[in-house]
Structure 1
């Protein structure tokens, strides 16, 4: 019989949501974070925007001062060609919580990791296999790194929601949206902080200058669009297509093509009301609970905010607080879907194209809400 090392909470996934939750639960709770990867990803992660409202969450993590000193770039204005074929400007100063930041995402995640370790979170990396069962009010995990037990188990495995799926929970994930993206080298002294967003018949683009001498260029389109495969394989064609739009060409002039990567980017939602079906003491947070379309620019903020809400529920006792957590996350999902639907209704000039038809049909949103 396995000798289970006891914890109060086991979190599966060492991304921003999992590390933030572990930090918030210490020192009152014994926390274990299990991570599948043994080493950080070699390529910079996409997802580099954090709104000003995140300052409150960073303060709760006692990271706000360190964050402000880390060289992240304050967000500037956003300009978009969306509802109509002309640019519309929005100044970040209009946000009552402050303009927010464009991040050095790798540095940000390293900061979260250091903080979790500093407060006493146990982090085990390289966990390739895991057997899970619930027995006598405890989750028991037999892994390649050892055997562990805890009354609370948290899925922080990201967009895949791998843990919840294993435990029988369903997800709504019927959006074929794929994000094609690359990081273009540019002069480090460039101070342009404008986010540029451009809709076209096959999807929508954005580009913004990042704090470490690169510019991210991303194109969101359907994975079954024949154009998608060609652009993924040909960095020169990807950059050339972006330059067909004057709004993007202004900041892409003189930049060399770079490797194009792709990742799923459509909305993916766990059925929040079914959390108890996984077993007593189970929660999901971050993308494992609700993965945002990048158009919302809220994915990283949601990771931190859902971690804070989960910490409150765990500290109050899940048997009493799970219902309140479910209601809060259901409200978040409904608000998000309403705003996303409204945003995709905008570019009516492309209503003949498959990409926009899929997102302007109300039936699709009804299934997810």
Structure 2
């Protein structure tokens, strides 16, 4: 079987994987691997990204989400499939520096993501509290067109010189001496431009909450919170001119609503996976009726809507640090693959970019010092510090709504 050598293989081309590829180029040979085709989800934005073997800027690309081997999803029967659109996600102004470092900021600005408005929160008090970003030196940040955001970062990675292979089949990871080997499971004859076996001293899991590569390597993923997010895209309303992010505590969970760049309004409710109300709330009328009990939400919700309510896991999860430290040198898990955040933290996308930057620094240090184990240990120490800080902030946030403190949802999140 033909073998292709790389300096780094990154599995997964969400924000974390694509930004890391941008950072490692042009000084290294970088391979990005995807399993399925993305064209159905991001046709417009991906149309200019070349397929492997095409000249840069000359072709179309079918990309896809990545999983490795036969690793199963964490999703239970109630969860919707992978084609469910992302809910309204935002990026703080501090991400500007990270996007500039990886060379993707100009493309990001050109995409026209919507500037974030104020946040209206009914959390600690009975009445709403307003917060704006006027005093934030980094600026207000943005509400993302998530499909466009992901596609633009992939395009930036390929434009920087990374090679992207999509539709590559089930991936099998092995170790051969100082190299990580990734077998795409397809014979070389299946594609003239695609070798089936790739190897590199650096292997990165950027597969999101699935943590598919890490789990194939036997690294356990500890779910810290069985939080479920029920969400629906409500149709655009010409009378809805509100641009605020609205957050509200409830007896058995918490709400989030905002208008996204498409003009639709996202309504999301976060509750426990074993909550008796979960299945009833998968009917949109029931979800809307529950949300309208809160004035901070009722003001911006339509009278009725006929849309699907989707469900996704949304709780914190982290890979076992001891197992990570014991893995062979050169393996990194970034973004949600290494540490996934409760959405109340509003840090998921920023963490994807920041952990990619940290991994890039560790890989560069490894190249200079010649000690891959020490470089990876430094990266893990940094991620542990991030996790510790996040858990403290999460505790402080969930401890705030005194009105519901004795309800099971809130008692479970007494993290002290």
Q: Same fold (TM over 0.5)?
A: yes
Report if aligned partners of 2:15, 2:353 keep a CA contact under 8 Å in 1.
yes
What is the CA-CA distance between 1:216 and the residue it aligns to?
0.9
Q: Which structure 2 residues correspond to residues 290-369 of structure 1 after superposition, within 5 A? A: 290-317=339-366, 318-362=372-416
For the residues of structure 2 that align with 1:94 and 1:76, how far apart are their CA atoms?
Answer: 13
- Structure 2 gaps of 5+ residues are 42-82, 187-195, 367-371
Report if aligned partners of 2:316, 2:341 keep a CA contact under 8 Å in 1.
yes
Give the number of equivalent residue pairs: 360
For the residues of structure 2 that align with 1:229 and 1:36, how far apart are their CA atoms?
Answer: 32
What is the CA-CA distance between 1:335 and the residue it aligns to?
0.6
Structure with bigger helix share is: 1
Q: Which structure 2 residues correspond to residues 123-134 of structure 1 after superposition, within 5 A? A: 123-134=164-175
Deviations 1:281-301 (A, max 9, x none): 111100011100000000000
Matched, 1:13 2:3: no
Task: Assess, with a 3 A threshold, how the Cα gap between structure 1 residues 67 and 361 changes in structure 2: closer, same or farther.
Answer: closer
Matched, 1:85 2:126: yes
For the residues of structure 2 that align with 1:187 and 1:144, how far apart are their CA atoms?
Answer: 48
For the residues of structure 1 that align with 2:106 and 2:304, how far apart are their CA atoms?
Answer: 34
Task: Specify which of 115, 124, 142 is matched with residue 101 of structure 1.
Answer: 142
What is the CA-CA distance between 1:47 and the residue it aligns to?
5.1
Report if aligned partners of 2:93, 2:142 keep a CA contact under 8 Å in 1.
yes
Report if aligned partners of 2:331, 2:376 keep a CA contact under 8 Å in 1.
no
Report if aligned partners of 2:325, 2:380 keep a CA contact under 8 Å in 1.
no
Deviations 1:70-92 (A, max 9, x none): 22111111111111221111112
Which has the larger displacement, 328-337 or 190-199?
190-199
What is the CA-CA distance between 1:38 and the residue it aligns to?
2.1
Matched, 1:150 2:200: yes
Structure with bigger strand share is: 1
- Structure 1 gaps of 5+ residues are 363-369
Task: Assess, with a 3 A threshold, how the Cα gap between structure 1 residues 167 and 79 changes in structure 2: closer, same or farther.
Answer: same
Which has the larger displacement, 222-231 or 246-255?
246-255
For the residues of structure 2 that align with 1:152 and 1:59, how far apart are their CA atoms?
Answer: 24
Match of 1:70 in 2: 111
What is the CA-CA distance between 1:352 and the residue it aligns to?
2.4
Task: Assess, with a 3 A threshold, how the Cα gap between structure 1 residues 239 and 257 changes in structure 2: closer, same or farther.
Answer: farther
What is the CA-CA distance between 1:190 and the residue it aligns to?
4.8
Matched, 1:215 2:269: no
Match of 2:34 in 1: 35
What is the RMSD of the two structures over their aligned residues, measured on CA atoms? 1.7
